Amino acid sequence: MLENRETDIGIAPRVFYSKAVEAVPIFREPLFLLSSKSVSDYPEVVQAQQLKRFNEIYFDWGTGFVEWHEKQMNPLDLPLMVTDTTELIPELLRIPNSFSIIPACIFKEKGTD
């Protein structure tokens, strides 16, 4: 609608690139490490650089997340799994020592066990 000049402003979950539209981030969400206490023992606070990517359940939260993620972890290392739906994350976290990095809005909705 922005590119077709049907609206003047829009809010999108991901930045998209267009010659006709200027995309400006308006906020950034804090990220949380999500894991299952019954099969993992991550501390309350952990630095992303300390995590082992082969334990990660990866979900692409958008361009900003991918850029941050690649600075924190080697992008050539493969995650344990990649999912394209958030509904699978709680089930996949039953795998011992697995974790997922999620934004605050999902953390508040899903909670932890």
* 87 in any annotated domain: yes
Q: Is residue 10 part of a domain?
A: no
Structure tokens at 53: 């990517």
The model's pTM: 0.74
CA 61 to chain centre: 4
Please check whether residue 80 lies inside any domain of the structure: yes
How do the pLDDT tens digits run along the chain, 113 residues long? 888 888 888 877 666 678 888 888 787 788 999 999 999 999 988 999 899 999 999 999 987 888 899 999 988 999 999 999 999 999 999 999 999 999 888 776 554 44
CA 16 to chain centre: 17
7 falls within a domain: no
Segment holding 64, helix H or strand E: helix 63-72
Residues 6+ positions from 69 with CB-CB distance below 8 Å: 48, 75, 101
26 in a structural domain: no
The domain tally of the chain equals 1
Residue 63 near residue 28, CB atoms below 8 Å: no
Structural domain span for residue 36: 31-110
89 occurs within a structural domain: yes
Task: Please give the radius of gyration of the chain, using alpha carbons only, rounded to the nearest integer.
Answer: 16
Confidence (pLDDT) at 109: 55
